[in-house]
Structure 1
Amino acid sequence: MFDAVLVANRGEIAVRVIRTLRDMGIRSVAVYSDADADAKHVREAHTAVRIGPAEAAKSYLSIPAIVQAAVDSGAQAVHPGYGFLAENAEFARACEAAGLVFIGPPVSAIDAMGDKIRAKATVSSAGVPVVPGASDVDIPEGGFAEAAAKVGFPLLLKPSAGGGGKGMRLVTAPGELDAAVESARREAKGSFGDDTLLMERFVTTPRHIEIQVLADTHGNVIHLGERECSLQRRHQKIIEEAPSVLLDEETRAKMGASAVEAARSVGYVGAGTVEFIMSAKTPDEYFFMEMNTRLQVEHPVTELVTGLDLVEWQVRVAAGEVLSVAQSDVVLNGHAVEARVYAEDPARGFIPTGGTVLAVHEPSGDGVRVDSWMTEGTVIGSNYDPMLAKVIAWGPDRAAALHRLDLALADTALLGVGTNIAFLRGLLNDEEVRAGRLDTELVERRLSTVVTSEVPRDFFVAAAMDKLLALQPSGSIVDPWDIPDGWRLGGAGGMNFGLRIGDAEASVRIEGTPANALVTVDDLEPERISARWDNGVLEVRHPGGFRRYRHVAGKGRSVWLARDGHCVAVEERADILAGQGESAGGGPVKSPMPGTVLVVKVGKGDAVSAGTPLMVVEAMKMEHTITAPVDGVVTELHVQAGQQVALDEALAVVTPQEETA
């Protein structure tokens, strides 16, 4: 067994791998960029080595830097985690050349499965069914449109060299093809260094089912059952579960056998995932999509229903041990569901958010597991993937697992950063999800029912009471004149708070003290409210009961509050009513997220129509197209391609046509 293993990754996966290495008595070596110098994975490893600046290309994607770090630290093996270089054959070769064991499959398997075009041909030869399609390799120059017509619409464009939903585009009609190809190639080139594309028939009402395989160097290959990964947004998974409610034992056995054959066809070693797509209407027909030659983000659900530690088996297999688990030993016990917590705003098209984590509260209890890298002070920027944590729940059946996960998410709070937690809870409680009627288009169809930008009004009351509590004098003797109750000659005048949460505003008036206050929000009926701080929690009592909020002060006059999955920043504004008469129209076009300008599509003086693409901003591996708000002229242009921009930074000014006439 190895004495020391370097983990060539960051975030929650690095923390998770380090945990198993510690349990196995193996010294862990972390690597970090300047942006992660004080990250959780750095703190939890035995040793940590700096590998470069924040830019991933110069740190986590730098093969020479990581290999040198492994050699210098005395590591004997390298665990790549997932993402970054996990499926990079050159990295595996470099490790081997340096005398390091790569904890993953052989280079030949990475090569064969890393190229989707070659992978389909390989597994097809092994008798595994594949989705009909075509690729750049077999499409003559200028023949993309003709090939697309033969495959048929709708079709899916996919980068041949990568996965994770990056660069994927759904094309529903011929007129969408050119723009989709341009965007897919650009994202594929930026993410994987290769813009080769593959097009495939888009299976209607598709369900994404993947099989976990495990293989050793002695010829033993088994599967550990399936995971249902059909709940996705932007072709990226959000909620995963094991097992799938769609499969019966016969279909599970057939798909498992196909996955094992796919792994055998490339001489696979270690933990890997074979992904299939099937129509919800014909669950007995399935097609191979791709094989991920690494550990998957969603591997915890398999661990919880099988009782196996996949990272431990990756390490043992890499050290040459024989699998002690036979196929007949694999039993799926109960049900497990995982939800991915992202720094993103579902109400604004899932654009990434950012900020500094001011406080963290993560759930615990029977059947609950959290894989996270969040700590107080963690800075969430635009350099890396926006996933912050995974909350996973196990139950004796699916209903119990879903219930536990919902409660766990309600008890999760990341204050200081906008997240998708409330959206995840809404999705888990959707009637289609509860019934197990899933497909990869469900989130898009149900978006309006599970995504809302509406702010619960009780947050305004809670924020005002929190501010009132902060103003209360302390000490054993309190001068009545120091009590901030707004008292004046003639009676109590009360205190007024002008508050804003995003685009929502409210005026809150409080008469009395936190122990007994009459609270009025805007022109609604006043309510008798009391509030207190209890062990770091704000408890607000009202006539119908009480609510508990986790709270922390933000920048300036703001406070962050979290309750039941909702997490908001409440800003105190003295000028809360100013600007309400301003009309929407032209003016500054601002960046909806911190990131990098990839493309500028217009020039100063250009005439544009409402909806015309102006530029593309990329953050956390996701592109966002900025469009013109009105018909008009670009009178100012403040950015160029390659430039870093901040949240709400002015990018351009579009002046309405009537104002330029």
Structure 2
Amino acid sequence: MTTTQITTVLVANRGEIARRIIRTLRDEGVRSVAVYSDADADALHVRDADVAVHIGASPARESYLLIDRIIDAARRSGAQAIHPGYGFLSENAAFSKACKDAGIIFMGPPASAIETMGDKISARAAVEARGVPTVPGISRPGLTDEDIIAAAPDIGFPVLIKPSAGGGGKGMHRVEEPARLPAALATARREAASSFGDDALFLEHFVDTPRHIEVQILADSHGNIIHLGERECSLQRRHQKVIEEAPSPLLDEETRQAIGTAACDAARSVGYVGAGTVEFIVPAARPDHFYFMEMNTRLQVEHPVTEEITGLDLVALQLAIARGDKLPLTQAEVTFTGHAIEARIYAEDPANGFLPTGGRISRVVEPTGPGVRVDSGIADGSEVTSLYDPMLMKVIAHGADRAEALTRLDRALANTVVAGVGVNTDFCRYLINMPEVVAGDLDTGLLDRVVNDYLPSEVPDDALIAATMVWLAGRWPDEPGSAWDIPDAWRLGSPAPQRVRLAWEGDSTLVSLIGSPSSAQVTIHDVVAGFTEDDDARRLARTVTAAVHRDGDFWRITVDGLTHRWRITATGDGALTEIVASSGEGTWILRCEQVVPSEANSDGGRDGSLSSPMPGTVIALSVEDGALVRAGDPVLVVEAMKMEHVLRAAEDGAVTFHCSTGGQVPANKPLATIAPA
């Protein structure tokens, strides 16, 4: 077979995986083509690529899932090959065939392999013919409920009902006793038909305390197949992976070789070509009794942990296979170094049932350090919508051993910030510090068992003090012309405190300070609501003496004689400032709002418009539409990160609203206009 020249590759995907593929294409000297929907016109993968082609409206079914649009984009851009990434059309046999019919190389397996492995019944039959172990059960086309019920006692309860098509846990039901099986089958068929358009089911024995272990394989068009070791993917919520690592802490070397050989045999059973992953279910108590579960005929989300321990670039190897090259290494030449762990960062709220979040991202801080890698699809200003997958980035850490990899990942997550939308970063830290996870005592039900014990981490007092002191320093003039230029709230008699409301994901507090950046008394109050200067009933958390000065890119904050170094950035005006504070202990994003009860809080623009300074929710309209207001009157209230922000009129006039109560609003969008009276 001759080698085919590939100079241009179209990436039929978006987000972090599109950017990751484009990165390797650039390293390989290959021209990259991005595709994008209306929603992604300014996305990072579009900016990264050499060429970008618009393929349709924002919903995926009107853009990324349209085979004809993707093929047309490849033709127009001169791409000889298409990389599907994962998700969307990556495991669509019709897409693979359409590429072949168009004379375009599909950087994945042949359509026949996708079709066989895409159906769990046919996949099971194919691998069993190669001697790959499967879970005891019954699987053949056309199984009726009566067939399954009759076979269940011999299989042994508990049993697991599984749909032949699809994945992600949809249509799967564990049944403990025979009496519950008929109703569970009816429900499973209904769910499978709704989700996949196919209600075919099969039955397996439920493996007690199962672990999800998968093996990365590579196969070229010359018949060579190798594996690159296994990945442990047992930490998952409702069958969706959250934390992955390589190698698995469960397997010994003998089992590792056996499961790798079985994975290669599974690939041979369908004439596989390209990169793929064979997934196994493994009993925690008997890891040598592993069972084939399914094969993912594409690149996996978690492929970076394999790259980190092997030193191989899987996308570069996919490119070589697509050209028709032989694999550049044999099984004996595959080596493993150290340990790698990956955390998926999702746009979701773990403290609120993992409900999806969205909006405009105001700030992204990516972690750095030895062994740390970030694959990301977001940056400052990126818009997160419900149209696409909620995974925003992956944080990967590699270490000499598992303990070092866990420590590095924890530190990396502590220094990861995605501001403007809720994310699961803090939950991932909670998870990887669970005693069971640290010990490597995992199973697929662990995360769901411990999720209700999760509480968001508290922001330490040092971060609150650092943010407040830098806020004060930002208001202080370098060379005041007179005492009146100094914003120290000076008054006759006792000193007047300046008050700053600090808000973050899930909580807020009030900090008052007296003094200057070089010497101030800072008090952190336990509660905020209704705080007044004369409220003696307020319980105070603590009062400290603090000072701050800049040291290059850092700030040095001295608290009660102890000096800490912080990396702090601040954006916004004097009234409302967003601060990102990082130290060795972690990174926190705080919103600082000066509390001035006696003065109007004017937020009006020069055109009379009122805009929210941050993404949030309109919780109150203070007046009727069309009402006349005076300068300083409250017009509406926006809540963001548990902090209420009152927008007030900058001048006298009539109000016209461009929002409604309960509406989600992005930053800087006009919410009301004041027409001068």
Q: TM-score normalized by structure 2?
A: 0.78
**1:527 matched to which residue of 2?**
544
CA shift in 2, pair 1:227/1:379, >3 Å: same
Query: Contact (CA 8 Å) 2:349, 2:424: kept in 1 or not?
Result: yes
- Give the one of 479, 484, 491 matched to 2:482: 479
The aligned counterpart of 1:493 is 496
CA distance in 2, matches of 1:647, 1:195: 38
Distance 1:463-1:202 versus aligned 2 partners, 3 A rule? farther
Quick check: 2:426–2:457 contact (8 Å CA) kept in 1?
no
Deviation at 1:521, TM superposition (A): 1.9
Q: Which residue of 2 aligns with 1:357?
A: 361
What secondary structure, in the 3-state scheme, does the structure 1 residue paired with 2:542 have? coil
Letter of the structure 1 residue corresponding to residue 413 of structure 2: L
Choose the corresponding residue for 2:519, options 498, 516, 521.
Answer: 516
> 2:433 — aligned with what?
429
Which is higher, the Rg of structure 1 or of structure 2?
A: 2
- For residues 589 and 155 of structure 2, the distance between their equivalents in structure 1, rounded to whole angstroms, comes to 46
Question: Contact 1:415–1:562 at 8 Å: present in 2 too?
Answer: no
Gap change, CA 1:9 and 1:483, over 3 Å in 2: same
Deviation at 1:242, TM superposition (A): 1.1
Q: SS at the partner of 2:94?
A: helix
Name the SS for the 1:525 alignment partner. strand
User: Which amino acid is the alignment partner of residue 509 of structure 1?
Assistant: S
Cα offsets for 1:274-296 (capped at 9, x unmatched):
00011111111111110000001
2:348 paired residue among 320, 341, 344: 344
2:510 is matched with which residue? 507
1:235 and 2:228 aligned: no
Contact 1:430 1:450 in 2 (8 A): no
Partners of 1:342 and 1:386 within 8 A in 2 = yes
- Paired with 2:596 and 2:210, the residues of 1 have a C-alpha distance of 50
Counterpart CA distance in 1 for 2:416 and 2:396 is 12
Looking at structure 2, the residues matched to 503 and 238 of structure 1 have their Cα atoms a distance apart, in angstroms, of 22
Q: 1:353-502 to 2 correspondence within 5 Å?
A: 353-448=357-452, 450-452=454-456, 454-458=458-462, 460-472=464-476, 474-501=477-504
Deviation, 1:484, is 2.5
The answer to whether the aligner puts 1:106 opposite 2:124 as a matched pair is no
Instruction: Give the counterpart of 1:86 among 75, 79, 90.
Output: 90
Contact 2:192 2:198 in 1 (8 A): no
Alignment deviations for residues 206-253 of structure 1 (CA, whole Å, 9 cap, x no partner): 111111111111111111111111111221111111111211111111
In 2, Cα distance between equivalents of 1:349 and 1:154: 28
CA distance in 1, matches of 2:166, 2:181: 22
- Once the two structures are superposed, residues 301-351 of structure 1 have per-residue CA deviations (whole angstroms, 9 ceiling, x without a partner) of 111211221111111111111112111111212211111122222222222
Structure 2 matches for 1:122-141, cutoff 5 A? 122-133=126-137, 137-140=141-144
Tell me the alpha carbon deviations over residues 128-180 of structure 1, each in whole angstroms, 9 at most, x when there is no partner. Answer: 12124457954426888888788676555555333345665666687799689
| 51, 54, 72: which one aligns with 2:58 | 54
CA contact (8 A) 2:161 2:188 kept: no
How far, CA to CA, are the matches of 1:157 and 1:513 in structure 2?
A: 68
Deviates more, 1:107-116 or 1:236-245: 236-245
Extract unaligned runs of 5+ from structure 2.
526-539, 598-614, 617-661, 667-677
Distance, in Å, in 1 between the alignment partners of 2:186 and 2:464 is 46
Identity of aligned residues (%): 53
- Render the CA deviation track for 1:3-48: whole Å, top value 9, x for unaligned: 1110000111111111111111111111011111111111111100
1:194 is displaced (CA, Å) by: 4.7
Task: Give secondary structure in 2 for the equivalent of 1:278.
Answer: strand
- Is the 2:212–2:443 Cα contact (8 Å) retained in structure 1? yes
CA separation of 1:61/1:428 partners in 2, compared to 1, >3 Å: closer, same or farther? same
Deviates further, 108-117 or 329-338: 329-338
| Residue of 535, 558, 564 corresponding to 1:546 | 564
1:559 aligns with 2:578: yes
1:581 aligned residue: none
1:201 deviates by 3.6
Aligned 8 A contact 1:345 1:418 in 2 = yes
**Which residue is 1:219 aligned to?**
223
Cα displacement (A) at 1:268: 0.5
| Cα distance in 2 between the residues matched to 1:158 and 1:647 | 39
Aligned residue type for 2:546: I
Residues 414 and 502 of structure 1: is their aligned pair in 2 closer, same or farther, counting only changes over 3 Å? closer
Aligned-residue CA RMSD in angstroms? 3.3
Q: Distance in 2 between matches of 1:39 and 1:269?
A: 32
By how many angstroms is 1:414 displaced? 2.1
1:554: how far off?
7.3
Question: Larger deviation: 149-158 or 219-228?
Answer: 149-158
Distance (Å, rounded) in 1 between the aligned partners of 2:587 and 2:158:
36
Aligned residue for 1:256, secondary structure, equals: helix
TM-score of the pair, normalised by structure 1: 0.80
**In the alignment, which residue of structure 1 is the partner of 2:38?**
34
